[in-house]
Amino acid sequence: MKTISENRCFDGVQGVYSHHSNATGCEMTFGLFLPAEAKDGPVPVLWYLSGLTCTHENAMTKSGAQAYAAEHGIALVFPDTSPRGEGVADHEDYDLGQGAGFYVNATQDPWAPHFQMWDYIAQELPDALGAAFAIDTERQSITGHSMGGHGALTLAMHMPERFRSVSAFAPIANPTQSDWGRKQLGAYLGADEQLWAAHDSSLLMRERGFDGSVLIDQGSSDQFLDLLRPEALSEAMAARRQPGTFRMQAGYDHSYWFVSTFMPDHIDFHAEALWA
């Protein structure tokens, strides 16, 4: 584990670290906020998964999450969105390749050697954090924005024993039926659409739901609504009678102004589950 930077932040520490990942076969960078309570022992952790084109830095610097996490004594993890570096496959389109890992384990060339983001987020990085920092791996929750909201929801529904709560900001909610999904899932997983279903939160919600509460915020003026398909997730939650809240926020778009506005609600939501 290499320390890139550490800064005092709301009486805690906002750090940036890198390490070699066996899952992705390259150096990975992540941000980690540890509240003041971490000096006395392990603290609960909230994962924040970012969206297309983002690195670990976007939410770390734009979401304002540290102030609210500090109030509740919660750590925040900001992973990168894909493998990067020399020899890692990329694409000229912004929504495929580096910066667009979609939180899946790729099976197709040229992506398979490095794009194993599911294993990295689900297992490798949690293990590394638990070994190196004052993180309570028995108390974890997860959230994310856009592509990261897709990742948060799919990971939570596949791993309810890992995550106590899940939320999302404007998630890519129905990727098997959207150009933000069909393109990427086809490239990473191949042509068999049955394999795609495991990474579609609307389909997973209908099939299994989540053993806990769910919070979704979606801006009504989001410029990507047709690609996100929030109505599919809302309908799936209603059909399953999933405990949770789905909110259409009037006038908000897809930006971090939207995310930062509702971040306090999401931190409060997760704190209640993490400290229960």
- Three-state DSSP at 201 gives helix
d(CA 14, CA 55): 16
Domain 2-275 is found in CATH 2.160.10.10:
no
Catalytic annotation, pick one of 56, 72, 254, 266: 254
Catalytic annotation, pick one of 146, 201, 202, 234: 146
pTM over 0.95: yes
What backbone phi and psi angles, to 5 degrees, belong to 267? -65, -45
Catalytic annotation, pick one of 167, 202, 222, 270: 222
Which ranges of the chain have pLDDT less than 50? Answer: none
Average pLDDT, the chain: 97
146 as an active site residue: the answer is yes
Contact 273, 164 (CB under 8 A): yes
Q: Which tens digits make up the pLDDT trace of 34-50?
A: 999 999 999 999 999 99
Output the CA–CA distances (angstroms, integers) from residue 5 to 17, 37, 46, 179, 257, in the order listed.
Answer: 7, 20, 20, 37, 26
Residue 135, token pair as written in the block: 């993180």
- Boundaries of every domain in the chain: 2-275
Q: Which tens digits make up the pLDDT trace of 119-145?
A: 999 999 999 999 999 999 999 999 999
